[in-house]
Amino acid sequence: MTDPQPGPAAPVELVVVGLGYVGLPVAVEAAERGLRTVGLDVDAGVVAALHGGTSHVDDITDEQLRGALACGLTVTTDPTVLAGAETVVICVPTPLDEHRAPDLGAVFAATETIARQLRPGQLIVLESTTYPGTTDGPVRERLEGASGLVAGRDFALAFSPERIDPGNPTYRLANTPKVVGGLTAACTERAAAFYGRLVDTVVRTSGCREAEMAKLLENTYRHVNIALVNEMAVFSHELGVDLWDAIAAAASKPFGFEPFYPGPGVGGHCIPIDPNYLSHRVRALGYQFRFVELAQEISGRMPAYVASRVQLMLNDVGKPVRGARIALLGLTYKADIADDRETPARPLIRHLRSLGADLVGVDPYLDRFEVDGVPLELAHTPVGVVEACDLAVVLQRHRAFDLEAVAAAAPLVLDTRGTLRGPSVHRL
């Protein structure tokens, strides 16, 4: 087995394929650390905006992007840059298709593009979340098929799951340990040496599949534990138990317990989408990954539960939902970010609209928000909105919100995050 080495004349040290929430931070970090880096994306609009110094990703400010461009980062739609790269990192989307099955179309398209330019000595790393067996299966086959080169002998191949937590002010790319698993031990070492230039700690797995599984284990663990407290929130309310107080008490145990908190449903990519990659794979074995399917079902019901609580709260003050003015605070899928992918606000709005509510959304991060093609009336601040509503629902605790003021000003508040107190406040 030969340890693939970088080619002799490699003007570009890194090409990052896919410049979204995951790829752009990698490209910026690498450029800041002095690697000759090129970002490649199929979306000419994204590339033009980045080239002009405008970032579309929450975690990268325009200033940071411009700093990286000044350090030599270039962005392009031209795939011929791949041929000169020492390392290629793939950060393209892995969504679900209309049957909620894995859609690896972007990964395969990117892989085929890379395969056409593949050179001996290159390191190819997949970062996109996917099921175990993708890197050493269809990705490897595509890379080898079009190039005639052999993975592990002529070029290095590895998987390294992306662990970015958008909006997290403490853990960024560099100080979050990076898991790396190669097709061979030499591939793992090659990938570990590469990531050692970008991050403080590299964690090696025994192979690609273990690295792929580590990512899905992390996501599934959160998915299941969030569903657990969501289910408990529903019956705790009926039992007259303050679940948040119970969670705080349980969290005082210094070992064996990690707190998770209920909410209006799960959003983003890591929780509602990624574990499906694993459950779909398990179904192909002839049985179900029941924890994931159950978690999906429980958390998927939360928006309807929130709508029913709104209905009950209004009923208690003698008002129907039809015609009631309801303010929804925080429409993105988590606090302090602008990403509204898979946000539970959408199904909640569907439920409340079907009951005839008069809705207004409040989110400082959004300038427009549509559900099923119908725009939602929007404000950037709760000030002036919550005073005039019948009920306000706190969905996300954006730092920009003065929620104590909301609790004081709104006639009724449903706090799905469980932190507010006051005579007008009901918690989930």
Residues that bind ligand NAD (CB under 6 A): 17-23, 40-43, 46, 91-94, 106, 109-110, 128-129, 162, 164, 166, 269-270, 274
Taking the C-alpha atoms of residue 143 and residue 154, their distance in angstroms, rounded to an integer, is 11
Residue 71 near residue 31 (C-beta atoms within 8 A): yes
Least distance in Å: CB of 52 to ligand NAD? 15
Name the residue whose CB lies closest to ligand NAD.
Answer: 20
Instruction: Identify which of 108, 113, 125, 110 has the alpha carbon closest to the alpha carbon of residue 187.
Output: 125
Residue with tokens 């190819």: 124
Residue 37 near residue 72 (C-beta atoms within 8 A): yes
Could you tell me the two tokens for 20?
A: 């979204």
Single-letter amino acid, residue 386: V
Taking the C-alpha atoms of residue 218 and residue 417, their distance in angstroms, rounded to an integer, is 23
- The radius of gyration of the chain from alpha carbons, rounded to an integer in Å, stands at 24
Length of the chain: 428
Query: Which of residues 128 and 416 has its CB atom nearest to ligand NAD in the complex?
Result: 128
Least distance in Å: CB of 274 to ligand NAD? 6
Least distance in Å: CB of 175 to ligand NAD? 16
b/e map of 155-177 (b: 16 or more CB within 10 Å)?
bbbbbbbbbbebbeeeeebeebe
Query: Which of residues 164 and 413 has its CB atom nearest to ligand NAD in the complex?
Result: 164
Least distance in Å: CB of 371 to ligand NAD? 20
Taking the C-alpha atoms of residue 236 and residue 240, their distance in angstroms, rounded to an integer, is 6
Instruction: Identify which of 70, 99, 71, 73 has the alpha carbon closest to the alpha carbon of residue 19.
Output: 73
Least distance in Å: CB of 47 to ligand NAD? 9
Query: Which of residues 82 and 224 has its CB atom nearest to ligand NAD in the complex?
Result: 82
The helix or strand, by DSSP H or E, that contains position 194, with its residue range, turns out to be: helix 185-195
3 state SS of 347: helix
Query: Which of residues 32 and 58 has its CB atom nearest to ligand NAD in the complex?
Result: 58
Least distance in Å: CB of 247 to ligand NAD? 25
Query: Which of residues 29 and 415 has its CB atom nearest to ligand NAD in the complex?
Result: 29
Single-letter amino acid, residue 242: D
Least distance in Å: CB of 49 to ligand NAD? 10
The helix or strand, by DSSP H or E, that contains position 13, with its residue range, turns out to be: strand 12-17
Our answer to whether residue 71 is catalytic in this structure is: no
Q: Which residue of the set 187, 208, 270, 389 is catalytic?
A: 270
Taking the C-alpha atoms of residue 413 and residue 17, their distance in angstroms, rounded to an integer, is 45
Residue 125 near residue 194 (C-beta atoms within 8 A): yes
Query: Which of residues 111 and 236 has its CB atom nearest to ligand NAD in the complex?
Result: 111
Q: HSE-up of 207 (CA within 13 Å, CB side)?
A: 10
Query: Which of residues 61 and 315 has its CB atom nearest to ligand NAD in the complex?
Result: 61
Residues forming the active site = 270
